[in-house]
Amino acid sequence: MNRTNTVVLPYLGGTLTIGRGPIVVAAGPCSIESADHMAISGARARSSGATLYRGGIFKMRTSPTSFQGLGYPALDFIASAKQKMGLPFISEITDPRQIEAMLSVVDIFQVGSRNMYNYELLKELGRGQTPVLLKRAMSATIDEWIKAADYVVQGGNSSVILCERGIRTFETATRNTLDLNAVAYVKAHTNFPIFADPSHGTGRADLVAPMARAAVAAGADGLLIEAHDHPSCALSDADQAIGFDELAELVKSLEPVARAIGREIQT
Amino acid sequence: MNRTNTVVLPYLGGTLTIGRGPIVVAAGPCSIESADHMAISGARARSSGATLYRGGIFKMRTSPTSFQGLGYPALDFIASAKQKMGLPFISEITDPRQIEAMLSVVDIFQVGSRNMYNYELLKELGRGQTPVLLKRAMSATIDEWIKAADYVVQGGNSSVILCERGIRTFETATRNTLDLNAVAYVKAHTNFPIFADPSHGTGRADLVAPMARAAVAAGADGLLIEAHDHPSCALSDADQAIGFDELAELVKSLEPVARAIGREIQT
Amino acid sequence: MNRTNTVVLPYLGGTLTIGRGPIVVAAGPCSIESADHMAISGARARSSGATLYRGGIFKMRTSPTSFQGLGYPALDFIASAKQKMGLPFISEITDPRQIEAMLSVVDIFQVGSRNMYNYELLKELGRGQTPVLLKRAMSATIDEWIKAADYVVQGGNSSVILCERGIRTFETATRNTLDLNAVAYVKAHTNFPIFADPSHGTGRADLVAPMARAAVAAGADGLLIEAHDHPSCALSDADQAIGFDELAELVKSLEPVARAIGREIQT
Amino acid sequence: MNRTNTVVLPYLGGTLTIGRGPIVVAAGPCSIESADHMAISGARARSSGATLYRGGIFKMRTSPTSFQGLGYPALDFIASAKQKMGLPFISEITDPRQIEAMLSVVDIFQVGSRNMYNYELLKELGRGQTPVLLKRAMSATIDEWIKAADYVVQGGNSSVILCERGIRTFETATRNTLDLNAVAYVKAHTNFPIFADPSHGTGRADLVAPMARAAVAAGADGLLIEAHDHPSCALSDADQAIGFDELAELVKSLEPVARAIGREIQT
């Protein structure tokens, strides 16, 4: 199979290369909330140092009675809101039947940890050319995760980014256990670009910054960070979101860490 | 939400009630292999004491290059093979787009552990009336599992059976850790009928019988057992399949255990 | 190494054989509380069907400020309290330096899950002849557990009973996950007598009875059950203790399960 | 309780302060092998940038027939070998009865992960003044680990360093899962100095360097690294040991990472 070691996206009139080059920061709210909110928070994400904007349209929630995301209606305003904020957009897909509608607004399809084993979805994404960010399932071995990525690659789409987001363990002080061993392992033993998500990986806003720095030191090619203009008002995952001021400070603190290992942060 | 405590199926001219009544045994191969194999192994399953026939058409395999099940072509012969063997048929669904094609041949839709969090699939199954057997994900808490079942119930389909199939732990002597605490807990705290799968729950043919008996003693309403006429030739999961002679012996050994707790085995 | 398959104890003027014969029930409070309490609760344990009395003198507690057991002073009254209640006594040892003082009152040394890897303690117990009940550590593989038992056997003491008491997993509805796979595995692949502890294995009084029955069906040679005359007043582990009336009912319910697999309950 | 935030040791005629100041590297073989080996490898550890020498005298091995360390006879040559190499010495204690004999040669008592719950040992170490490095047990929650440290502190010995060494999960590509969330958490929420052990935490020599850098970025006050002059000949844990040339390179690479977060490496 033809695994690639970089994923290339159009970016600010040029291109953004994810993988062996500068480290990228993807930031944004857990859920897309409105056109205005997307434009404003996207602009703030960008000015804080993020190069990708993340936000959920279709949310995976444990309970069927929890907020499930804005869904299809959001697709109407996202194209224009995206243009205002100027960052490539990454959003989660939860059903192969969403692909067509999302294609026009999404630059990277995120497959969440709950869908890592949804091989029918992965096969369908493999038939397209849009890059896929594949989160590790809560208790997937690294080997299963790589093989899940191969479901996409086998279909002809070699633009797959892996994303470590914390595994499920017995620990209760943190929501999940961010497995940076896995980041270092994927870096050493595969070609796939590898991201880390310190927000879900810790579930605690106070641990996001040190673990983001640790992920960069371990070799991550990118970070996925939940940031919100009013973290405590986020429609979902409020405990782990940081504010944009904190994000700006965090991105600044990542630069010397990246340089320490011979890399830089994408600006 | 209107959770039911029994799931009722047509059975041998009458009905089969799954839940509070007699304990049912579902048996059959990991994968459907051919029309003849289905007819023959179904007849053997029935004469060994099984009241449901299980077999995969769409398989979830870790590697994209492993055998993925016969898929849609198998649907052509299943209806007639089913009639020959005379047992209700339970088979795994892996994509909402398969529902229509499978509806005519499947009596119970199995949602596998890898798809327990596939909420779009669960919502779609909730719009129909076909019973759903929902396996627990490898590291799902009991609470997440019950809430996943509620995705089906909320749609209007109250016929949901939960199935414990082993959780993922550090243990390597067994493939998974069959969590009978969960069986006893679901029995005590919910209305859902609860099955156990000692084949996946142990991954070892030599432990299937004692763990099947333990599951019955813990309160399981049914068992899902991999049985094959030539276990070592099974197209998948050969290590954990038992032969039909062993199955017959096992079912016979379950009867006194069921009686010991005031129940019986469905014949 | 000379592993035995039975452990023999003096019992009511005769002997009690633990292992291949009748299944034994060990019951009693988490902690020894007083001479009177021991005599009374021991008598009640016996009349409820228990054949061994369990109770902690030296307690392993997560916090240094929690109740640590009565300790050495309790040894003064235990010998006489034991005579009144008439059951062999099993109690936890937490330090090799306690051996000498405990030898005269203890019939079986319990090594708790927190000390399974305390090889210096195991080596010391291997130099004596008193039987040892070795609980599995919270995340020990079955292989590590058997090898820990071999530390005792290698010293010359072949009287080792293994006891599964629940492993630590991500599940939070139960305190631990009672791994009956391990009971069936030890039974099939070693000579060691094997017990199960459904009290610690579930951490919930309401699940003790079904899981005790399941353990017997899985092949356990004995059960370790926390029982207390006033469960909610127990000095430790109140949530998982059952009353003696419940114990009597439970033991009665075990008899047909034992018979169902060709065994009986020791009376 | 009087938890301290620094542990102070005599060092090269002055003192070494572990905790809030420069980050220290402890390196050396899994097991002490001989006087010459200790002198030579200690000198190499020192010239590679280590400020503490680690090596086991009493080893905790899963099997009773594996090499158990040199034990008491090694104490005869350690004092003089220590003088030749000039680094403070950290070694594991496995039994309270070893304290007296080890006191004269050990600068820091290491309590291994298998003994984290050995509260009798911790209480005894709390009665002395020698600093204690307390490794986290394989499946201890952070809360249990901190409370175990409090067993030492409560006795009057406030010089406790915590050491994260990898937790046990389902992952098999790495020996353990180094939990850097725990490092960041301990740093943010307690006063205890915190170390990380990337050797045991990964079990793979090829991941030691990136994970050592990640641990520093996460906030570790020190590292514990297995290094050997001939890694593949190490008497134990050969897979995870690195050579001294690699160690020197690693320590050099840690310096810019430490500076990136406003700290430095102790020289």
Residues D82-105 have pLDDT tens digits of 988 889 999 999 999 999 999 999
> What pLDDT band is residue D236 in, cutting at 50, 70 and 90?
confident
Q: Which residue has the tokens 């493999």?
A: A126
Say what the pLDDT of residue C2 is.
67
Please tell me the distance in Å from B170's CA to the nearest CA on chain D.
4
Query: What mean pLDDT do residues B200-209 have?
Result: 97
Mean pLDDT over residues A230-243, rounded?
A: 83
Percent of chain A with pLDDT over 90: 86
3 state DSSP class of C187: helix
Best residue in B181, B252, B264 to probe C by mutation, most C CBs within 10 Å?
Answer: B181
Q: With bands split at pLDDT 50, 70 and 90, how would you rate the model's confidence at D170?
A: very high
Q: How far is CA C180 from the centre of its chain?
A: 16
Cβ <8 Å between A168 and C170: yes
What are the DSSP E strand ranges found in chain C? 7-11, 14-18, 24-28, 52-54, 89-92, 108-111, 132-135, 160-164, 194-196, 222-226
* pLDDT of amino acid D74: 93
Position C156 scores a pLDDT of 95
What's the distance, CA C214 to chain centroid?
Answer: 17
CA A192 – CA A18 distance, rounded (Å): 10
Two tokens at B69?
């099940």
Q: What is the Cα gyration radius of chain C?
A: 17
pLDDT at position B2, please?
A: 67
**Is pLDDT of B3 > 90?**
no
Residue C168: its chain D contacts at CB < 8 A? Answer: 139
3-state helix, strand, coil in chain B (%, to 5): 40, 20, 40
Q: Who's near C239: CB < 8 A, 6+ residues apart?
A: C175, C203, C204, C205
> Min CA distance, B176 vs chain D (Å)?
10
Contact present, A132 and A166 (Cβ < 8 Å): no
**CA-CA-CA-CA torsion for A243, A245, A251, A254, nearest 10 degrees?**
-90
Of D139, D168, D170, the CB nearest to B168: D170
Give mean pLDDT, residues C139-143.
98
Contact A177/A167 with Cβ under 8 angstroms? yes
D205 to chain A: closest CA residue: A185
In whole angstroms, give the CA distance from residue B70 to residue B72.
7
Indicate the angle between helix axes B244-260 and B35-47, nearest 10 degrees: 40
Q: How far is CA A97 from CA A100, A102, A120, in A?
A: 7, 10, 11
A115/B contact by beta carbon, under 8 A: yes
List of long-range contacts for D239-243, beta carbons under 8 Å, 24+ apart: D239/D175, D239/D203, D239/D204, D239/D205, D240/D175, D240/D199, D240/D200, D240/D202, D240/D203, D240/D204, D240/D205, D240/D208, D241/D29, D241/D30, D241/D199, D241/D205, D242/D199, D242/D205, D242/D208, D242/D209
In degrees and rounded to multiples of 5, residue D101 shows phi and psi of -65, -35
Contacts of A134 (CB under 8 A, 6+ apart): A111, A116, A122, A145, A148, A149, A152, A160, A161, A162, A163
Separation CA D37–CA D81 (nearest Å): 9
All partners of chain A with 3 or more CB pairs under 8 angstroms: B, C, D
CA distances from B224 to B201, C155, D169 (A): 10, 45, 27
- Which chain B positions have a beta carbon within 8 Å of D170's beta carbon? 139, 168-170
CA nearest neighbour of C160 among C187, C128, C134, C189: C134
A32: pLDDT confidence band, cut at 50, 70 and 90?
Answer: very high
List the single residue in A with minimal CA-CA distance to B153. Answer: A64
Q: For helices C244-260 and B244-260, what crossing angle results, to 10°? A: 150
| Main-chain dihedrals φ then ψ at residue C54, nearest 5 degrees | -115, 145
Rounded-to-integer distance, Cα B63 and Cα A119, Å = 10
pLDDT band at C1 (very low <50, low <70, confident <90, very high): low
Judged on CB neighbours under 10 Å (0-12, 13-18, 19+), D129 is exposed
CB atoms within 10 A of CB D63: 15
Question: Testing the interface with D: which of A180, A187, A257, A265 to mutate, by most D Cβ within 10 A?
Answer: A180
The set of chains that have 3 or more CB pairs under 8 A with B is A, C, D
Query: Rounded to the nearest 10 degrees, how much is the dihedral formed by the CA atoms of C52, C58, C63, C67?
Result: 90
Local confidence band at C69 (pLDDT 50, 70, 90 cut-offs)? very high
Q: Tell me whether C120 touches chain D (CB under 8 Å).
A: yes
Q: Closest CB to C141: pick one of B172, B213, B259.
A: B172
CA distance A29 to chain D (A): 22
Binned at pLDDT 50, 70 and 90, residue A1 comes out as low
Which tokens sit at B190? 């919910």
| Both structure tokens of A175 | 């929501």
Amino acid identity of residue D219, one-letter, is G
Where would I find the beta strands (DSSP E) of chain D? 7-11, 14-18, 24-28, 52-54, 89-92, 108-111, 132-135, 160-164, 194-196, 222-226
Task: Please spell the DSSP secondary structure of chain A, one letter per residue.
Answer: ----S-EEEEETTEEEEESSSSBEEEEE-SB---HHHHHHHHHHHHHTT-SEEE-BSS---SSTTS-----GGGHHHHHHHHHHH-S-EEEE---GGGHHHHHTT-SEEEE-GGGTT-HHHHHHHHTS-S-EEEEPPTT--HHHHHHHHHHHHHTT---EEEEE--B--S--SSSSB--HHHHHHHHHH--S-EEE-HHHHH--HHHHHHHHHHHHHHT-SEEEEEB-SSGGG-SS-GGG-B-HHHHHHHHHHHHHHHHHTT--B--
- CA dist D145 and A15 (Å) reads 48
Q: What six digits make up the tokens of A28?
A: 């944004």
Nearest to C139 among D123, D138, D147 (CB): D138
What's the pLDDT at A208? 98
Residues in C closer than 8 angstroms to B139, CB to CB, are 170
Q: Which residues of B touch A139 (CB under 8 A)?
A: 138-139, 168
Instruction: Check residue B140 and give its pLDDT.
Output: 98
Q: What is the ipTM, given to two decimal places?
A: 0.96
Residues C69-88: b if buried by 16+ CB within 10 A, e if exposed: bbeeebbebbeebbeebebb
Give the separation between CA D145 and CA A52, rounded to whole angstroms: 39
Rg (CA), chain A: 17
CA dihedral A226, A231, A236, A241 (to 10 degrees): 30
| D171: nearest CA partner in chain B | B170
* Mean residue pLDDT across chain A: 94
Nearest chain A residue to B142 by CA: give it: A62
* D147 in C contact zone (CB under 8 Å): yes
Q: In degrees, to the nearest 5, what angle opens at C-alpha D122 toward C-alphas D199 and D42?
A: 40
SS3 of A47-63: HCCCCEEECECCCCCCC
Q: What is the pLDDT of residues D51-91, one digit of tens each?
A: 999 999 999 899 998 989 999 999 999 999 998 888 999 99
- Which residues does chain D have within 8 Å of residue B172's beta carbon, measured at their own beta carbons? 172
Chain A residues touching C140 at Cβ < 8 A: none
pLDDT computed for residue B215 by the predictor: 98
Interchain contact, B172 vs D172, CB within 8 Å:
yes
Do C214 and B184 lie within an 8 Å CB cutoff? yes
Among B130-144, C142-156, D219-233, the least confident range: D219-233
Say what the pLDDT of residue D123 is. 97
Predicted TM-score (pTM) of the model is 0.96
The answer to whether D215 contacts chain A (CB < 8 Å) is yes
pLDDT tens profile D118-127? 999 999 999 9
Amino acid present at B181: N
Q: Report the 10 Å Cβ neighbour count for A12.
A: 11
Residue A154 to residue A2: CA distance in whole angstroms: 8
pLDDT tens per residue, range A162-190: 999 999 999 999 999 999 999 999 999 99
Contact residues on chain A for B147, CB-CB shorter than 8 A: 62-64
Closest CA to C226 of C210, C237, C211, C215: C237
A vs C: CB pairs below 8 A? 8
HSE at residue C199, side-chain half, CA atoms within 13 A, is 25
Which pLDDT value is given to residue A13?
Answer: 81
How large is the average pLDDT for residues B148-165?
Answer: 97
Q: Which residue has the tokens 């009722």?
A: B8
Closest CA to A91 of A76, A77, A71: A71
List chain B residues with CB under 8 Å of D168. Answer: 170
Partnered with residue C196 across adjacent β-strands are C164, C223
> How far apart are the C-alpha atoms of A111 and A122, rounded to whole Å?
8
How many of the other CB atoms lie within 10 Å of CB of C184?
29
Q: How far apart are CA C254 and CA C103, in angstroms?
A: 32
